[in-house]
């Protein structure tokens, strides 16, 4: 009996321990950082390894992991069971997370470098009082083209619908970014909640399917760098990376306008080391670290110190720092309400499901079904005959 009791006690304590390990346990020796893939200067190509430098400076270890989309990250945090201290959502996602009370307010006493943020990126619509987050990177979407594969430089998103380039056009493989391009062309607000507007967007997208080579995300690097496609919309920072490998690539900000986004850094409710997280955020805003990130990532920096730095090589880059005119024409994504979001995802499914399966396919299938049916009927009748013969 004693043995059984002690065994039970061991089990019980194991459960308690497991609970402590997976819940928001307080800790001071390490932080869990959850960022986009390839979105920090990590020591490759002689760059500065930001995480290693942070550990060296503070003694706090960094557990670094990646996500592929805002939605993935959101689903993981909502699912619970994970304890992240620092996350990097985009503008519309942080708006949603603030609304759903998933973030901790920042303690600015621990983030003296917050002054480094340019005034134009303070108090934006998603967090008007800068209570929960600070900007990390700013980016825009542009139209990338291969000089050798197009007759003339495009200036409009309409090029992505041009029959001339049939089979050489790529498109975003996610609903928000892809629909935004059709919305620009149709003059519809990116954040419209009008279902009729969204239906028009779907029609426009269906028209495009005939001329598309494929819907892509990361594959865009390979395809554009190898000259397999002539035109693709993508993020400007990534375009500069592609151009390093293929100098024939160019980018234009189409006249209809495009998406501008801010990726921010913030602390989720389930953080176990808030002080460590704030130290990390402060570290990212440090002029030297911010410069290393800006040089490595090619994204637009929201930090004063970088822009004023003499050594910053992208200072006059027309892609990293688009003209005021381009910026004035750009729109932010806002958090869509649940119904609109659902409607949009549904339309995206429709776009992907729709096929040219003609009558011939249905006839072929009907013949196949009839054939199978006839065969089975034949077999069963034969079997019955056999049984009769034996009995």
Looking at residue 258, the DSSP 8-state letter turns out to be -
**45 to 64, contacts with other proteins by CB under 8 A?**
none
Residue 341 contacts other proteins per CB under 8 A: yes
Q: Which stretches of the chain are assigned E, i.e. beta strand?
A: 30-36, 61-67, 86-87, 133-146, 169-172, 212-216, 231-235, 249-252, 260-266
Residues 173-212 as x/- pattern, contact with other proteins by CB under 8 A: x-----------------------------------x--x
Q: From CA 344, how far away is CA 337, in angstroms rounded?
A: 11
Q: String of b and e for 189-202 (b: at least 16 CB within 10 Å)?
A: ebbbeeeeebebbb
Residue 357 contacts other proteins per CB under 8 A: yes
Phi, psi of 359 (to 5 degrees): -60, -35
Q: Which helix (H) or strand (E) holds 376?
A: helix 359-390
* Cβ closest to other proteins, residue 269 vs residue 379: 379
The binder of other proteins chosen from 158, 363, 370, 372 (CB under 8 A):
372
The binder of other proteins chosen from 350, 363, 374, 381 (CB under 8 A):
350
Q: From CA 263, how far away is CA 40, in angstroms rounded?
A: 12
Coil vs helix vs strand at 336: coil
The binder of other proteins chosen from 215, 275, 287, 327 (CB under 8 A):
215
Residue 358 contacts other proteins per CB under 8 A: no
* Cβ closest to other proteins, residue 103 vs residue 134: 103
Residues 144-173 as x/- pattern, contact with other proteins by CB under 8 A: -----------------------x-----x
Residue 126's nearest CA partner among 86, 88, 99 is 99
Contact 315, 64 (CB under 8 A): no
Residue 375 contacts other proteins per CB under 8 A: yes
Binding site for other proteins (CB under 8 A): 69-72, 74-75, 78, 167, 173, 209, 212-216, 219, 222-223, 226-228, 338, 341-342, 345, 348-350, 352-355, 357, 361, 364-365, 372, 375-376, 379, 382-383, 386
């Amino acid at each position: 009996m004693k043995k059984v009791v002690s065994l039970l006690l061991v089990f019980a304590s194991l459960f308690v321990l497991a609970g402590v390990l997976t819940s928001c346990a307080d800790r001071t020796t390490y932080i869990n950082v959850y960022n986009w893939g390839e979105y920090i200067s990590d020591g490759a190509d002689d760059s500065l390894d930001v995480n290693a430098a942070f550990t060296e400076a503070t003694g706090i270890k960094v557990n670094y992991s990646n996500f592929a989309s805002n939605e993935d990250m959101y689903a993981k945090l909502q699912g619970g069971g994970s304890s992240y201290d620092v996350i990097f959502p985009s503008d519309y996602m942080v708006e949603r997370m603030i609304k759903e009370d998933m973030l901790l307010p920042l303690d600015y006493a621990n983030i003296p470098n917050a002054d480094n943020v340019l005034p134009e990126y303070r108090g934006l619509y998603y967090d008007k009082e800068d209570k929960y987050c600070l900007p990390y990177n700013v980016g825009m979407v542009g139209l990338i083209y291969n000089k050798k594969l197009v007759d003339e430089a495009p200036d409009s998103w309409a090029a992505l619908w041009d029959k001339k380039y049939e089979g050489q056009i790529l498109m975003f493989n996610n609903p928000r970014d892809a629909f935004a391009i059709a919305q620009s062309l149709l003059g519809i607000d990116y954040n419209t909640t009008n279902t009729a507007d969204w239906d028009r967007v779907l029609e426009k997208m269906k028209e495009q399917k005939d001329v598309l080579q494929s819907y892509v995300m990361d594959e865009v690097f390979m395809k554009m760098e190898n000259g397999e496609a002539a035109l693709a919309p993508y993020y400007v920072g990534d375009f500069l990376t592609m151009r390093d490998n293929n100098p024939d690539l160019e980018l234009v900000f189409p006249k209809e306008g495009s998406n501008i986004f801010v990726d921010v850094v913030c602390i989720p409710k389930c953080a176990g080391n808030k002080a460590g997280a704030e130290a990390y955020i402060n570290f990212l805003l440090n002029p030297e670290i911010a410069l290393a990130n800006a040089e490595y990532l090619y994204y637009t920096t929201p930090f004063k110190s970088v822009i004023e730095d003499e050594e910053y090589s992208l200072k006059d880059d027309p892609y990293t720092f688009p003209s005021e005119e381009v910026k004035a024409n750009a729109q932010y994504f806002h958090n869509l309400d649940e119904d609109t979001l659902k409607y949009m995802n549904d339309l995206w499914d429709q776009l992907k499901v729709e096929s040219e399966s003609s009558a011939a396919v249905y006839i072929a299938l009907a013949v196949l079904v009839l054939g199978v049916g006839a065969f089975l009927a034949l077999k069963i009748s034969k079997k019955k005959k056999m049984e009769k013969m034996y009995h």
